[in-house]
Structure 1
Amino acid sequence: MSCYRPFCRMAFLAAPAVALVLLAPGSMAPARAQAAQAAHPDPAKPPQQKSLTSKAIDKVKEVAKSASDIFNRVPCLPPKGGARKMGSLPHVAGKLAAGEPVVIIAFGSSSTSGYGSTSPEFTYPNRLAAQLRRQYPTADITVVNRGQGGEDAPEMMKRLQTAVLDMKPDLVIWQVGTNAVLRNLDPTETIKLVEEGVARIQAAGADLVLVDPQYSPAVNERAESAGKMIKLLNGVAELRHVGIFPRFEVMRDWHEKQAIPMDNFVIADGLHMSDWGYACFAQLLGDDIIKSVGQIKLGVNVPSNVQTYRPM
């Protein structure tokens, strides 16, 4: 996914502190006022007033911690209705269940690198890593961000070996297709490259989840092309028995069925996702991985022909 009109490299739009202010404006303001007062105590007041200074500082720390905790899991609902068969991620799930080290590669363009997030920690790969580490606190989990703004399958295939396969990943999450739509690339040629990449990733022994384009104004302007790309990616997933995260349908559900305003999950450029959008996206991916681990532990064997990813 690109940084739409013109394509550019990823840039974070604001400092992490901004997110804290947005999360708890009512609670942060009094805390700041107390902190400001604490920073300039009145020398005329008695010595016991120093205890209020400490309390004010503690309050600021408490509010900041509370705001940070909110970002652990956002109020994010899965799509309502429709087919939600769970795909199988046997390799990464088996290693997590066995307590072995796990390497996950997030491969893609600017929505993988995190353009639009207010801090690196709020990109979807970092959100996913945090979720899995909370779920498996003793596990050795590495999530590597291999997103490059403006790229699609032609550029990604040139770096597939060094950026992905050389890392010997257990799971690859490949976000692809958005820039092909925006750049008017031939969808059939794009899919040929994706098929080649899927075959190489599978040959390396990794699980794979494809991620299709996002539901956003910039993509919706090219609805016919986007629809064709989504259909072709689903075809590859079905043919090769790999997972696919239906990002377009998930995001459309947020807006059309859950009545979430578009600007809650898409930033002002009309293309890239916001902190909340990345967070919900990461949560749904993480929930599926966690459920797959649970199936492995229970001895549930998901048939290989039930691989199409659907959020919980």
Structure 2
Amino acid sequence: MPRPAARFALLIALLLAAAPGQATPCGAPDDLIEPVPLPATAAAIKAGALPVLVVGSASVAGPGSSGSESAYPTQLEHMLARTFPGTRVEVMAQGGRGMTATDHLSIIRAALRQRPRALVLWQAATVEAVRGADIGEMTNALQDGAERIRAAGGDLIFLDPQWSRFLRANADVEAYRDALRAAAAATGAGLLSRYELMGAWAEAGTVDVERAPRELKVVEVDKLNRCLAESLTEMIAGGVREARP
């Protein structure tokens, strides 16, 4: 076991690596970032204001992190502002623990009544997979939400379940991931696979929340959130490039 001084030095080094504004070399296999054209997002950036809505379960609020500034939607807001200088970026995150796609649909309906969103990021299927919920009900909610977002003039990117060894061993994750892929294909939405990204990062030793020492869990969660925000920024930037003539 490392001596206290060595453990403290390691903690400081990791904190500095994950600090806001500092680059985190996450990396992502090229085949896991597959942009689709995002015309509404491109038009909003051209107009100078990019309103983004993030909906999901507990992870949208960054549980286990060092605070709300380390949640991935907040980090995404900062990264998009740097990627598209001169654009006023506003990322609003809504959701909570235990929420299903049907719950998210209610949030999306209410949000779209308030104001249009150029881009919606919808993380789904984790809660359903854990509960063994009805896949058809989830699919109906996803398709309904996608149609509403398109009708309101917005783009949509789905995010599939978080990866973990526990979830992989105790739930039929693939059935829900398949349903989410089918919903994305049917509606023309983008799909960022958190599941495959997190698995690749864990295998590479880049970030692995499950196996991090207890005293470094917060640092590892912060880093995971930053890596996810980086991957989303890359995918969104690619979608904007594909949408422009």
TM-score (norm 1): 0.67
Q: Distance between the aligned counterparts of 2:40 and 2:89, measured in 1? A: 14
Equivalent in the alignment of 1:262: 208
| Residue identity (%) | 26
Q: Distance between the aligned counterparts of 1:265 and 1:75, measured in 2? A: 19
Query: Which has the higher Rg, Structure 1 or Structure 2?
Result: 1
Q: Distance between the aligned counterparts of 1:23 and 1:169, measured in 2? A: 42
TM-score (norm 2): 0.84
Cα gap change, 1:27 to 1:180, in 2 (>3 Å): closer
2:161 to 213, 226, 233: 213
Equivalent in the alignment of 1:95: 44
Q: Distance between the aligned counterparts of 1:116 and 1:141, measured in 2? A: 25
Q: What amino acid is aligned across from residue 263 of structure 1 in structure 2? A: V
Q: Distance between the aligned counterparts of 2:236 and 2:13, measured in 1? A: 36
1:78 to 19, 28, 41: 28
Residues 91 and 206 in structure 1, CA contact (< 8 A), matched pair in contact too = yes
Instruction: Give the CA deviation at 1:200.
Output: 1.2
Equivalent in the alignment of 1:222: 170
Q: Distance between the aligned counterparts of 1:77 and 1:100, measured in 2? A: 29
Q: What SS does the corresponding residue of 1:285 show, helix, strand or coil?
A: helix
Residues 73 and 93 in structure 2, CA contact (< 8 A), matched pair in contact too = yes
Give 1:132-211 correspondences, 5 Å limit: 132-211=80-159
Q: Distance between the aligned counterparts of 2:129 and 2:155, measured in 1? A: 26
Which digits, 9 at most, give the CA deviation of each residue in 1:140-166, with x for residues without a partner? Answer: 111111122210112222332213452
Instruction: Give the CA deviation at 1:194.
Output: 1.3
1:290 to 211, 229, 237: 237
The structure richer in helix per residue is: 2
Q: Distance between the aligned counterparts of 1:172 and 1:124, measured in 2? A: 14
Instruction: Give the CA deviation at 1:214.
Output: 0.8
Which digits, 9 at most, give the CA deviation of each residue in 1:34-89, with x for residues without a partner? Answer: xxxxxxxxxxxxxxxxxxxxxxxxxxxxxxxxx4984323111012x646542111
Q: Does 1:118 align with 2:66?
A: yes
RMSD: 2.9
Number of residue pairs matched? 233
Cα gap change, 1:264 to 1:286, in 2 (>3 Å): farther
Residues 173 and 211 in structure 1, CA contact (< 8 A), matched pair in contact too = yes
Q: What amino acid is aligned across from residue 69 of structure 2 in structure 1? A: E
Cα gap change, 1:110 to 1:176, in 2 (>3 Å): same
Q: What amino acid is aligned across from residue 281 of structure 1 in structure 2? A: L
Per chain length, whose mean CA-contact separation is higher, i.e. which structure has more relative contact order (CA < 8 Å, sep 6+)?
2
Q: What SS does the corresponding residue of 1:102 show, helix, strand or coil?
A: strand
Q: What SS does the corresponding residue of 2:209 show, helix, strand or coil?
A: helix
Unaligned runs of 5+ in 1: 1-20, 29-66, 300-312
Which digits, 9 at most, give the CA deviation of each residue in 1:133-189, with x for residues without a partner? Answer: 122332111111112221011222233221345231000000111111112211122
Cα gap change, 1:221 to 1:267, in 2 (>3 Å): farther
Unaligned runs of 5+ in 2: 1-7
Q: Distance between the aligned counterparts of 2:93 and 2:10, measured in 1? A: 26
Q: What SS does the corresponding residue of 1:103 show, helix, strand or coil?
A: strand
Instruction: Give the CA deviation at 1:260.
Output: 3.6
2:226 to 279, 288, 309: 279
Equivalent in the alignment of 2:12: 25
Residues 117 and 154 in structure 2, CA contact (< 8 A), matched pair in contact too = yes
Q: Distance between the aligned counterparts of 1:101 and 1:196, measured in 2? A: 26
Instruction: Give the CA deviation at 1:27.
Output: 11
